[in-house]
């Protein structure tokens, strides 16, 4: 299947990154969110980041112009009628995602594919909410999307093998390396990552070390680009908590219970980089 026109619903940090990557690979991208102002803000963010790459001599202005010409803000998903694939990249909330998925299912043509960038929610469940469960695929990008090489691919129980292969190839033509995960809570990356981030919170609460010492230990001791607290702030603490809850509910093991520290920060609205304060200050 050829994917010329892509619809992305949700233009937050993940959605905007997906739009940029698809546009850079030459696809025409329709961008939708709750309203057009949110989309225009996302578009401005992409342009600013690409501008920085030009200033650093990493990109030609002509390449930026090409990417920007492929990005089209639209008023809503009613404009997604002729997309070949719609990718949902909304907040990690199951009720919201099911609602958006149903809307996308009605808006796009019958032969088009529906993908979700969910980082933990059941693809099988989302597929069951549509009239095309065989054409639903999980496509889990990593943050920041333009930088990170991986896309985790998840077939639901009902996904058609040929459809799945087509979407895997699409991610690869966008320059990504793909892995395949079974449709279990958290998939591969978050099954391992979230307990690690959560454990950092428990360890700090027990007085094992300061936030700074834990981050520095992991960064320098394990040669990771960031420590767990800085990484949780990058992802967004609300997202980390949402995924922790999916693991806890879906796997039913108390070892996945979210740390009270993580819950408190989310209650305070200290959600990480996007709010200027999370475990660290920005
Ligand atoms: N969007 C696009 N590009 C970005 C970016 C963003 N939000 N943030 C940084 N970059 C680019 C910069 O432009 C820069 O590009 P050049 O090298 O071409 O100049 C490059 O990334 C490096 O950025 P910086 O020099 O500003 O900073 P850095 O060297 O400290 O790198 C980082 C920043 C790429 C975020 C790096 O710290 C890193 O890789 N951290 C780990 C990220 C990670 O683990 N992500 C996965 C999270 S888990 C996930 O996403 C799954 C989930 O469901 C929760």
Predicted pLDDT at 1: 86
Please report the atom of ligand 1 found closest to the CA of residue 14: 50
Predicted pLDDT at 211: 98
Predicted pLDDT at 120: 87
Averaged pLDDT, groups of 10, the chain, 282 residues long: 96 97 98 96 97 96 97 97 97 92 96 96 95 98 97 98 98 98 97 98 98 98 98 97 96 98 98 97 96
Domain annotation for the chain: domains and CATH numbers: 5-180 (3.40.50.720), 192-273 (1.10.1040.10)
Active-site annotation, residues? 119, 140, 152, 190
Give 145 Cα–ligand 1 centroid separation in angstroms: 8
Give 147 Cα–ligand 1 centroid separation in angstroms: 6
Give 219 Cα–ligand 1 centroid separation in angstroms: 14
Q: Which of 176, 166, 175, 104 lies closest to 140, judged by CA?
A: 176
Q: What residues flank ligand 1, with Cβ below 6 Å?
A: 49, 53, 56, 58, 119, 142-144, 146-148, 189-190, 193, 225-226, 231, 235
Predicted pLDDT at 138: 98
């Amino acid at each position: 299947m050829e994917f010329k026109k892509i619809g992305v619903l949700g233009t937050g940090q993940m959605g905007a990154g997906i739009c940029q990557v698809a546009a850079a690979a030459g696809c025409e991208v329709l961008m939708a969110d709750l309203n057009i102002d949110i989309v225009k803000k996302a578009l401005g963010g992409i342009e600013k980041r690409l501008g920085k790459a030009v200033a650093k001599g990493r990109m030609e202005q002509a390449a930026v112009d090409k990417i920007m010409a492929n990005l089209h803000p639209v008023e809503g998903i009613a404009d997604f009628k002729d997309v070949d694939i719609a990718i949902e990249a909304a907040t990690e909330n199951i009720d919201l995602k099911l609602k958006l998925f149903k809307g996308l299912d009605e808006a796009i043509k019958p032969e088009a594919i529906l993908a979700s960038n969910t980082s933990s929610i059941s693809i099988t469940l989302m597929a069951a909410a549509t009239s095309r469960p065989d054409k639903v695929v999980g496509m889990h990008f990593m943050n920041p999307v333009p930088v990170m090489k991986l896309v985790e691919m998840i077939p639901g129980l009902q996904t058609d093998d040929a459809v799945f292969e087509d979407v895997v190839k699409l991610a690869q033509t966008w320059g990504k390396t793909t892995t395949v995960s079974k449709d279990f809570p958290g998939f591969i990356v978050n099954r391992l990552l979230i307990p690690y981030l959560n454990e950092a919170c428990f360890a700090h609460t027990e007085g094992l070390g300061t936030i700074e010492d834990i981050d520095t230990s992991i960064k320098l001791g394990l040669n990771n680009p960031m420590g767990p607290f800085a990484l949780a702030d990058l992802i967004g603490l609300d997202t980390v908590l949402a995924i922790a809850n999916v693991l806890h509910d879906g796997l039913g093991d108390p070892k996945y219970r979210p740390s009270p520290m993580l819950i408190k920060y989310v209650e305070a609205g200290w959600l990480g980089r996007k709010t200027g304060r999370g475990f660290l200050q920005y």
